[in-house]
Structure 1
């Protein structure tokens, strides 16, 4: 979300011109999928992690501008909230030691950033939702300085026509609140995993990513608290779905699709997703440039398709299609946005290895999983896993209802190991990371479970005092880089 745009107002003519241009981009994209050469020979993988900033006592530190100035590293970027920053780890090939490279780069960069940002009173924490956020942090004043964020917030609120309503029912507690901006979205910090793929294989990789999203959530949940309430084990999911919802209650009742979207069907081509974007969703940022994409393509160049890409960036699929250009050559990626940040770099890399291995094994299977499973079952799994976390019971073809941990241990870990071998990941590296996932399932402890249990030991304290103390315990253990299932 960090692309720079200038603050502006949009006229009706701007929107008409943008609609025509984005449709022209879509036509050119369809032609490129038929005729153009995409970079597919040696696929890259990528990793991004969104981080929270806290002060010495565990409260949010609204200091991302100062922290970024202190860190002075182009891999770190601004995010929506002043208590957020993001690190983009350089892409790598898994067969060339990519997982170890990601881990080393991430640890080194985070340690260096923590050392520098601490000087301005901002400490880095990897967690899905900062549990010490309070109502006072949720206003427009907490939005980062990049004009894009305020512009996007204004456009979403204008499209909605009323304040954003947040209503989440947990097991024992319930949250009901409203917001006059999209700032609550900033509470959601994630780990984003990228897999480059060919146009021919994109549908299989996207479908596989959708099918396993629930399993990722169940074993990686790390967002149990929001605004002082214990809610879902992965509260990021309902919060993000509601915080950027442009629909009024009447439009919801009419079946208008939400901008944070699991989807509604298995796909046969990457074109399906971009075509849905254009067909279903009006532009939030109708910014139009002067490029003629058809002229560029026919002239032997690679069109930027800027309008199509910017529009895609305002539709928040949990598995998002990405069209990008590197070295003048276009490529496609599946961007997996399911996982919360944290708890440690070791846990993050175990989650990444599990995803990279499993998605490859399923995408290249002789009998596709999605041919045996309805899309609605995958979507139901997704929300059950977000609500129940590591205790979730999921539907799986050939098994029926099964504990997520049992499914991982008996069926999915062997598949993930096979997929990692196909990527060219050394066996010792795969074993180390898959052992973390295995032990997490055997102990039944992920980030959310640890945090809730730790809070249970402080049941007699003021809720926010307990959240601060537990968050500081969490941060201390995060720096050990010992996986979360070993913390206690």
Structure 2
């Protein structure tokens, strides 16, 4: 969830100074886009996976500090809830076996982490929402020890001025209120990173937005929350509501939400950072001593700390990232659409589908986003989150179509073309994309499988059924057979 922030109080003067500083960072960033050399040679990709911790019964294990101490691996980091940790795989190129390397690294890291976590009575689960969460797991005392999280929760509640309402109508309905942002911790995702040049950033971001609904349809994995069957990908409405700083009156006035799909196609990465500054007040107005203009004019690369921290508190489903490696700035699209899991091979298949499809669409001479409205892309996104593998979405030239039919007939060939552009060998591409195809042909993703298994136990108490299915899920997760074979 970003850099550490020390516990502190913010004054109105702090917020005024921060606004001035973040605008100065934005001016410097605009100049860098015109003048600076960004790292664009041999662009890399990356994968992050958020994980849940459970005890032997399948209930949340509030032990992330002990688990991280036992793992002793800097690739694993804390997350918002005490039942969460995050794994960051080393980034690298897709060419020369990059996808298979991701699978090998992810399996090795998770196997080692599971072995060490078991020593402190905890186990790792890759799933979009831990189905055995109960209301007591979403209270303030379950927030992780890192002061950033408690401070962020306080600032969001203060900006909102009232408790947060969670109201999700799915197959069943969940309506509850909370006085922290802990429901956000229930949302565990897989994040894909694509490094791109400033000139190509808008194309890759627009393409990522256009395919967001398709991604969710084939990979939904979050059908239950607090014992209720809701959406196929309940993470989407839950995350949108859990960090909403707007009271009802501000929603009616059209104030933008901090978890945001967006509202338009862009022409530059600058558009997104400029929207951040224009629309969203600071949640964490922490000011760095660096003068970015002085650093830039001295030939250095400014950190733009305020701009980056502010960006980290605006939760776009496809987020722009400015970062520095080896003294050179670079830009990434962070694709935050998908749930974690269900298996390592499914995760890498999802990555192959995204990396291939986004490149093919972004590099096409006729932009997809010139053929569909932005609102259609957003409607696809929410329809797929609600209906999962059974979703119907809009696609240019086809009208409304089953997402699975669209993927098999049109998008998988594009994804293969895109992976070839990345330098992925045909056999490697086929191995992972065939998994996506089989999900579509069988009509099975992880959300669909989980719901069917719970329904088969309809005579049992709902939480007992969820625990039993989660135990089966966790065993199959370690077997690493793709979910369509379950």
Instruction: Give the TM interval when normalised to the shorter protein.
Output: over 0.9
- Matched with 1:364 is 363
Pairwise CA distance, 1:2: 4.2
1:274 counterpart = 2:261: no
1:208 counterpart = 2:190: no
- Matched with 1:78 is 78
Residue by residue over 1:247-266, the C-alpha shift from the partner in whole angstroms, topping out at 9 and shown as x without a partner, is 00000000000000000000
> 8 Å contact 2:56–2:121 — kept in the other structure?
yes
- Matched with 1:43 is 43
Q: Distance in 1 between matches of 2:303 and 2:97?
A: 31
> 8 Å contact 1:159–1:247 — kept in the other structure?
yes
Structure 1 segments of 4+ aligned residues over 4 angstroms from their partners: none
TM-score, normalised by the number of residues in structure 2: 1.00
> 8 Å contact 1:190–1:339 — kept in the other structure?
yes
Q: Distance in 2 between matches of 1:305 and 1:79?
A: 24
- Matched with 2:105 is 105
> Which residues in structure 2 correspond to 1:299-318 (within 5 Å)?
299-318=298-317
Q: Distance in 1 between matches of 2:184 and 2:100?
A: 31
- Matched with 1:179 is 178
Q: Secondary structure at the match of 1:389?
A: helix
- Matched with 2:145 is 145
Residue by residue over 1:444-476, the C-alpha shift from the partner in whole angstroms, topping out at 9 and shown as x without a partner, is 110000000000110000000000000001001
Q: Secondary structure at the match of 2:459?
A: coil
Q: Distance in 2 between matches of 1:279 and 1:434?
A: 40
> 8 Å contact 1:163–1:179 — kept in the other structure?
yes
CA RMSD of aligned residues (A): 0.4
Q: Secondary structure at the match of 2:145?
A: coil
- Matched with 1:154 is 154
Gaps of 5+ in 1: none
Gaps of 5+ in 2: none
Q: Secondary structure at the match of 1:90?
A: coil
- How many matched pairs? 486
Q: Distance in 1 between matches of 2:371 and 2:175?
A: 38
TM-score, normalised by the number of residues in structure 1: 0.99
Q: Secondary structure at the match of 1:287?
A: coil
1:19 counterpart = 2:16: no
Pairwise CA distance, 1:97: 1.8
Q: Secondary structure at the match of 2:218?
A: helix
1:88 counterpart = 2:88: yes
- Matched with 1:379 is 378
Distance 1:2 1:21, change over 3 A: closer
Pairwise CA distance, 1:96: 2.8
- Matched with 2:240 is 241
Q: Distance in 2 between matches of 1:306 and 1:366?
A: 36
Q: Secondary structure at the match of 1:413?
A: helix
Q: Distance in 2 between matches of 1:91 and 1:290?
A: 30
Q: Secondary structure at the match of 1:162?
A: coil
Q: Distance in 1 between matches of 2:118 and 2:325?
A: 35
> 8 Å contact 2:2–2:312 — kept in the other structure?
no
Q: Distance in 1 between matches of 2:2 and 2:342?
A: 24
Q: Distance in 2 between matches of 1:369 and 1:2?
A: 32
Pairwise CA distance, 1:4: 1.1
Pairwise CA distance, 1:101: 1.2
Q: Distance in 1 between matches of 2:41 and 2:110?
A: 32
- Matched with 2:433 is 434
Residue by residue over 1:405-454, the C-alpha shift from the partner in whole angstroms, topping out at 9 and shown as x without a partner, is 00000000000000000100011110000110000000011000000000
Q: Distance in 1 between matches of 2:366 and 2:459?
A: 53
> 8 Å contact 1:92–1:101 — kept in the other structure?
no
- Matched with 1:168 is 168
Q: Distance in 2 between matches of 1:444 and 1:97?
A: 29
1:7 counterpart = 2:7: yes
> Which residues in structure 2 correspond to 1:337-416 (within 5 Å)?
337-416=336-415
> Which residues in structure 2 correspond to 1:468-483 (within 5 Å)?
468-483=467-482
